[in-house]
Chains A and B, each alone.
Chain A
Amino acid sequence: MMLLVSLMAFWISASAPGDPVEILTNSGTAQGSSNNISVKKDIKDSLRNKLGLNKPLFYFSLNSLAECDTLHKIYDKLTRNTLSRLTAKYGNWKEIHAYYTAILNLQQKSLSLSADTLLLRCAADSADLMQKDEVNNSLNQIINETNSLLHTYEHNFIQTKIDSIKNIIYDQNYLNCFKAEADNLSESYMQMIANSTGWKNYVPVVRWHGLNSQYHQWLKNILLKGDFGISYTDGQPVITKIWNKFLLSSRLIIISIFLAYLISIPIGIASARRRGSWFEKTTGTILFMLYSLPGFFAGTMLLYWFANPDHWVWFPEGGSQPIDIDLSQMNFFERFAYQWPYMVLPIITYTYSSFAFISRIIRVSMLEVLSQDYIRTARAKGLSDNRVIYKHALRNALLPVITLFVNIFPAAVGGSVILETIFNYSGMGLAGFDAIRNYDYPMIVSLFTLSGFMTMIAYFVADLLYAFVDPRISY
């Protein structure tokens, strides 16, 4: 089961848009000059090696005969897309690769030459300012056209782009040195079209990569080292980032589920005992309304009333602990006293909906149990009401509630995204929300896996409780 969860999580992270390396190398704000581009590439390559992104994704891959099995080594997602689209169209990887290298050659050359060197080279006698700008202009144009060729796959557009590059180069004297590359480019493109082997696309090939795959690496790191990888936003190990938040969140969730059961069981029993009474009707209505009340609405209202200087400031407006007091020196209880106010509102919001849910279920199951023959027998034997209910009925009535535990738990974990955002409680939910907004996939994936893990624990606990309540089941 965990394997399936992890496989799903990995699939999500692999198919996710956005390139982690781009994010990690700060290229979002990069303003590099030309000599920077190649250097940047070096840094990126070493990062990719480190992250293992230069490996095939999975143990095996299913490709067509036309496709090249090392395509994943071309890093730019857009370029990769272009190349694989070209492959899907022409089916001749060799020629496509030739075309690709022709583009790269032209790009390299145009980047390596500055306007000054060009002018020197053609030894123009009147290299005045305007002419230099002109040179600059056409050089820029070439660079840009070549760059965009890497992202173009429609035939018409490629043709026009190649033509325009050739036009620029043949128009100007001083661009003579580009002629060879440009001819090579258009030649290789012609070749590519001429030698198209489209049929190769319809022959499936299964390739075995073995253990040298990203997934294997990823799984190995998690299982052996507990290493979920590094966060894309700041390059920090995910596990250290998430662990504290995990504790904070699970504290909230466990306390509130505990509270929910604590409150709902007596209420459920009481309303089952006094069927048709005034008490049952009012609690029934209130519980029903609480059950339908959306958590984010209730949370916002609580914040509006109890953490707003216009009304009452009983609780802090957000956060998980006071920041101007150093809590690390204190013992658990002192620390808890400081953190408690921050937890009250989230706990109330967590608790109310599940306790409404649980007590309704208890009421129903209690009613069912009370109508059973053996309860009637017990009553007929003259046992006291309390004794009948707590000794005989309760155990059986609790069974469906325990099953619920397995449902409530994931719901609480999922609900934490909304609630922690409202209360700005820096737990797992808020971290997950931030990660999603920043496309920080390792974080999302580990969140995913962790919550799957927590649910497994919930299943386990439910099983134990079952055994405890129902003596027929034993392990």
Chain B
Amino acid sequence: MAQIKNTPVFIILIAILTACGVKKRNLSENTAIIHIPVKPNGLHITNNYSGYRSFIFEFTQKTLLRMDIDSLKHVPVLAQNMPQISNDGKTYTFTLRPQAKWDDGSSITSEDVIFTTKVILCPLTNNPGVRGVFAAAIKSAHATDDKTVVFEMHDVSRNNLEVFTEMYILQRKFWDENNVLNSLSFEDLYKPETKTNPAYVKWFENFNNPDNSFKPEKLIGAGQYKLTEWQDESHIIVEKKKNWWGENIKGNHFFNKPDKIIFKIIKDDGAAYFAIKNQNIDATNRIATNKLIKLRELDYFNQNYQSAFVPQYAYNYIGFNCKPDGQKHKLLFTDKKVRRAIAHLIPIEDMIKIMYKGQAARQVSMVSPLKKEYNTELKLIEFNTDKAKQLLTEAGWIDSDGDNIRDKIINGEKIKFSFQMNYMVEGSGTKEMMLMIKDELYKAGIEMIPNPLDFSLFFKLAYEQDFDALMGAWLGSAAYEDPMQLWHTSQWAEKGANFCGFGNAQTDSLIEAINKELDDEKYLTLIKEFQRLVYEEQPYVFLFSPHAKVAIHKRFKAKIYSEKPNMLVGAFELINYSGSTQKPLTTQ
């Protein structure tokens, strides 16, 4: 009897004892574990374009040019040198590196580059989100010899060089063994016959297959690492290639020091915090602000990790529907006085202080203050409830029925100033910020109802222009940012990214002028003027730019950069590291 009674106790004891011997991670191994908060929605070389894709492609794929994380200038990668630009600025000639090779040993030729260009431009490719950018810049490409490619551009534009940094080169032999696309010329691309040609349709159907976004054997590229494993929601592993062609080339895009890089997907802030505490992650740039602040208070964290808050090119904003249909969404924000009033009511300073612990910077326009294009003459809009109330009253919004919410008679209909603000559930602290805003708006007699949505639905409603107001964020880069996508009226009419409906003829022509202006001096005045116009209209309340939160384990010699992804994982150099303490010092 006693025996039977004790068995379970024994089992639990044994279980716990064996578990106590949990194998700690061997910190002397040359494997870097990088934290990413969401899994990429696919790693298709042309068809997926989430932010984390480029982080991983940095290791597995190569482009002709790339923005250098250190100097913030374009540098050649697959190209031998920077392209030669013809005098009219419309022809770009690239020479490929002679040593560049695919995994099967064949060298990377101009044929591959032209093939890639065709695929990216072809309307049959399922990349509607980015194709426009390429199609607006590149007209055609042809080869003069095996290693030389000439690109014809549509126009002189600041964007032209940019497109080459995002064009990951595909291996023609791997993707198109029978050379189906050879017969497809650049002129034919947009012809309706192409869309119905069964050979092309079949090829592109294969090419667009979701398998090409996930299966490791399909995710090959010219990079120094090879994707070997993708465990759906858990992690992605890339391993160093042996005898890679670029090993001896100098430059930030050619490092391959860690033997293996594991991208660990941890969605939960709390879990990421623990993982770092337990040294299960070597580097992150996506930990929550308050978590990093907490970590930095710990001795053993500082002993094991280097960390920093770095200003970055990104901003959070509140956008208003400036051109609502008037039925489903009332005419609340058509008056710029109202938009300005709201801007006065958002407690941005408090939000930075409370949610970001001061680790965020304010900005007044869509251009990052880190850039020289930033218009420094525009003043920050201060938090001022009284001024906001006054503006609202001026705009005709008064509380006529004593329910503490303002109202106004528009087209004979009494409308309460009550609206829904959409926001994404992902991301820490957004809910709290929403509640802070709600409180302050209520004090001025405006009712705001937070409406949490998940990522895809949030953007769907935004592009459908089916919202009153929304809180979102844009991630930028040090490179040139084309204002076309976010601010041109055509992007509103075609349900593009200008979902707020900003713009008029004046701003449109200004945007076009900015894009074509190559002279730096004139360009600066134009873009500053454009910022002033946006500031006046206030279609967005520009909230702040949160700092990137970076932590890197000290067992690697590494540097923290301000441009995303804030680190060069390829250059992580394992050093003989003795300071590692697995347990916190306090409990030893």
Give A residues with C-beta under 8 Å from B: 18, 22-23, 25-37, 39-40, 42-43, 46, 129-130, 133-134, 136-137, 139-141, 143-144, 147-148, 152, 154, 157, 230, 233-236, 241, 259, 262-263, 266-267, 270, 307-311, 313-320, 322-325, 337-338, 340-341, 344, 347, 386, 424, 426, 430-431, 434, 437-439
Which of B2-10, B179-187, B363-371, B569-577 participates in binding chain A? B2-10
A residues in contact with B126, CB < 8 Å: 25-26, 43
A84, chain B: closest CB distance, angstroms: 18
B327 at the binding interface (Cβ < 8 Å): yes
Considering only CB atoms, which chain A residue lies closest to B210 in the complex? A235
**Cβ-neighbour of B268 out of A28, A233, A424 (below 8 A):** A424
Decide: A234 near B29, CB < 8 A? Known: A144-B493, A424-B266, A434-B233.
no
Q: A152 to B135, alpha carbons, bound, how many Å? A: 34
- Contact in complex: A266, B505 (CB < 8 Å): no
- Contact in complex: A31, B129 (CB < 8 Å): yes
B residues in contact with A241, CB < 8 Å: 232
A residues in contact with B383, CB < 8 Å: none
A residues in contact with B237, CB < 8 Å: 323
B residues in contact with A262, CB < 8 Å: 7-8, 11
Q: A446 to B323, alpha carbons, bound, how many Å? A: 42
- Contact in complex: B213, A235 (CB < 8 Å): yes
A residues in contact with B235, CB < 8 Å: 323
A372, chain B: closest CB distance, angstroms: 22
> Among B19, B49, B128, B132, which residue has the most Cβ atoms of chain A within 10 A?
B128
A residues in contact with B208, CB < 8 Å: 43
B residues in contact with A230, CB < 8 Å: 210
Decide: A341 near B22, CB < 8 A? Known: A28-B455, A317-B274.
yes
B245, chain A: closest CB distance, angstroms: 27
Q: List 19 A-B contacts (CB under 8 A).
A: A28-B456, A28-B460, A30-B128, A31-B132, A31-B496, A34-B490, A36-B123, A139-B493, A140-B492, A143-B493, A143-B494, A144-B323, A233-B41, A235-B209, A235-B210, A241-B232, A309-B274, A314-B22, A438-B454
B443 at the binding interface (Cβ < 8 Å): no
19 further contact pairs, Cβ within 8 A, besides A308-B274, A439-B457: A26-B127, A29-B129, A31-B497, A33-B132, A36-B123, A39-B128, A137-B489, A139-B493, A262-B11, A266-B5, A310-B586, A310-B587, A313-B278, A316-B278, A316-B280, A318-B275, A324-B25, A341-B22, A344-B15
B583, chain A: closest CB distance, angstroms: 7
- Contact in complex: B214, A133 (CB < 8 Å): no
B residues in contact with A46, CB < 8 Å: 205
- Contact in complex: A314, B234 (CB < 8 Å): no
The 3 lowest CB-CB distance pairs between A and B, nearest first, are A235-B210, A133-B505, A140-B493
B474, chain A: closest CB distance, angstroms: 12
- Contact in complex: B268, A313 (CB < 8 Å): no
Q: A37 to B494, alpha carbons, bound, how many Å? A: 8
**Cβ-neighbour of B16 out of A22, A236, A344 (below 8 A):** A344
A residues in contact with B8, CB < 8 Å: 259, 262-263, 266
A residues in contact with B5, CB < 8 Å: 266-267, 270
- Contact in complex: A133, B508 (CB < 8 Å): yes
Q: A130 to B463, alpha carbons, bound, how many Å? A: 28
- Contact in complex: A309, B128 (CB < 8 Å): no
- Contact in complex: B132, A36 (CB < 8 Å): yes
- Contact in complex: B496, A32 (CB < 8 Å): yes
- Contact in complex: B274, A318 (CB < 8 Å): yes
Decide: A324 near B456, CB < 8 A? Known: A34-B494, A140-B493.
no
A residues in contact with B47, CB < 8 Å: 26
Decide: A137 near B271, CB < 8 A? Known: A40-B128, A344-B16.
no
A residues in contact with B132, CB < 8 Å: 31-33, 36
- Contact in complex: A137, B18 (CB < 8 Å): no
* B444-478 interface code vs A (CB 8 A; 1 in, 0 out): 00000000001111011001000000000000000
B175 at the binding interface (Cβ < 8 Å): no
> Among B136, B208, B454, B495, which residue has the most Cβ atoms of chain A within 10 A?
B495
Considering only CB atoms, which chain B residue lies closest to A114 in the complex? B490
Q: A23 to B5, alpha carbons, bound, how many Å? A: 56
Q: A39 to B127, alpha carbons, bound, how many Å? A: 11
A residues in contact with B124, CB < 8 Å: 39, 43
Decide: A39 near B195, CB < 8 A? Known: A308-B274, A424-B271.
yes
B262 at the binding interface (Cβ < 8 Å): yes
B residues in contact with A310, CB < 8 Å: 584, 586-587
Q: A449 to B263, alpha carbons, bound, how many Å? A: 32
B206 at the binding interface (Cβ < 8 Å): no
> Among A33, A143, A430, which residue has the most Cβ atoms of chain B within 10 A?
A33
- Contact in complex: B232, A426 (CB < 8 Å): yes
- Contact in complex: A32, B234 (CB < 8 Å): no
B485 at the binding interface (Cβ < 8 Å): yes
- Contact in complex: A341, B19 (CB < 8 Å): yes
B42 at the binding interface (Cβ < 8 Å): yes
Q: A148 to B495, alpha carbons, bound, how many Å? A: 11
Q: A148 to B123, alpha carbons, bound, how many Å? A: 26
- Contact in complex: B278, A317 (CB < 8 Å): yes
- Contact in complex: A236, B508 (CB < 8 Å): no
* B269-308 interface code vs A (CB 8 A; 1 in, 0 out): 0010011011010000000000000000000000000000
- Contact in complex: B234, A320 (CB < 8 Å): yes
Q: A320 to B264, alpha carbons, bound, how many Å? A: 13
**Cβ-neighbour of A136 out of B266, B485, B505 (below 8 A):** B505
